[in-house]
Structure 1
């Protein structure tokens, strides 16, 4: 029984870690997209020059600023939940999670080269990447099984729905309803 619990917890932790890693990658892309669409060329150039001039520990400080600001606000959001303001607290926590992850990922993308010149940071980064790859390997068989089941389910729905698959069946159903209303 203890082995099953341990396996279930490891699976859950791996999935959460992979979701965070996936969100991290998406937030970097979103940050790059936003930076391309900021209309102030001078502002972007100034920010890029300032980051280029930063020493590695200055880049680390810049990287840690969103964490220092957002993490205490997450505690406030959890406090809201604890005091019965579930919707407000949960919404605040989710927004802070996305904004924080987005800012941190974007700043990391801008400062990566400088941050990786710091020995302990480079080792920590390698450690995180190692565990991300391990999580991918751990979850891969489950992911393949879910994809196979979803494909089989889709094939069975399409077969039961007849011509045009599920969307065709929904279109025929909608046409029947409209015909019955007239």
Structure 2
């Protein structure tokens, strides 16, 4: 019976790590942008002043609040609300990972000074390293990067065409 559960659990864990890994590429720039905003300076100083275990408690808040969004999104999709479920999942995951990423950046050393957190982070890092070393991951990253370059190029072409059409249709004064 024990063997029956190993494969589905491994597949679920792998899918979870892959989804989190993909979303982290989206949330890193957002987190860096938030870090540059002076509006959050007072909050940043307070977060940095916390000791290790209060930092861990604060780190857990976005996970505890936003992790239930995944089953909610799954329920919405299962009941036929595909767009609502997808939007719920995307917004919840981006919010969660952005908050977690920023809190981890601010309190990395304190969090890693907690032995259980350091062990869990080491395991997560090993899993992400294993996934990122797979050829399929590398191919997917290249595909996403190429698609991003194509979209940027097309957007710039669209903006140039729009600007040139405005210049052509200007009426003389």
TM over 0.5: yes
- What RMSD, in angstroms, separates the aligned Cα atoms of the two structures? 3.1
- Relative to structure 1, the CA distance from residue 86 to residue 25 in structure 2 (aligned partners, 3 Å threshold; closer, same or farther) is closer
- Relative to structure 1, the CA distance from residue 143 to residue 47 in structure 2 (aligned partners, 3 Å threshold; closer, same or farther) is closer
Determine the C-alpha separation between the residues in 2 that align with 1:13 and 1:74: 14
Report the TM-score when normalising by structure 1: 0.60
Determine the C-alpha separation between the residues in 2 that align with 1:87 and 1:28: 25
Matched, 1:81 2:77: yes
Deviation at 1:14, TM superposition (A): 6.0
Contact 2:23 2:93 in 1 (8 A): no
Unpaired stretches in structure 2, ≥5 consecutive residues:
1-6, 144-173
Deviation at 1:87, TM superposition (A): 1.6
Q: Which residue number corresponds to residue 110 of structure 2?
A: 114
Determine the C-alpha separation between the residues in 2 that align with 1:54 and 1:34: 19
Deviation at 1:16, TM superposition (A): 6.7
Deviation at 1:96, TM superposition (A): 1.1
Contact 2:75 2:85 in 1 (8 A): yes
Matched, 1:21 2:21: yes
Contact 1:28 1:102 in 2 (8 A): yes
- What SS class does the counterpart of residue 89 from structure 1 fall into? helix
In the TM superposition, what whole-angstrom CA distance separates every residue of 1:83-141 from its partner, at most 9, and x where no partner exists?
2222212211122112211111121111211100101111111111122222233x13x
Deviation at 1:80, TM superposition (A): 1.9
Q: Which residue number corresponds to residue 98 of structure 1?
A: 94
- Relative to structure 1, the CA distance from residue 19 to residue 90 in structure 2 (aligned partners, 3 Å threshold; closer, same or farther) is closer
Which of 55, 63, 69 in structure 2 is aligned with 1:67? 63
Report the TM-score when normalising by structure 2: 0.63
Contact 1:27 1:106 in 2 (8 A): no
Deviation at 1:25, TM superposition (A): 4.7
Contact 2:111 2:117 in 1 (8 A): yes
Aligned length: 134
Matches within 5 A, 1:1-182: 17-18=17-18, 20-36=20-36, 38-40=37-39, 43-44=40-41, 46-137=42-133, 139-140=134-135, 142=136
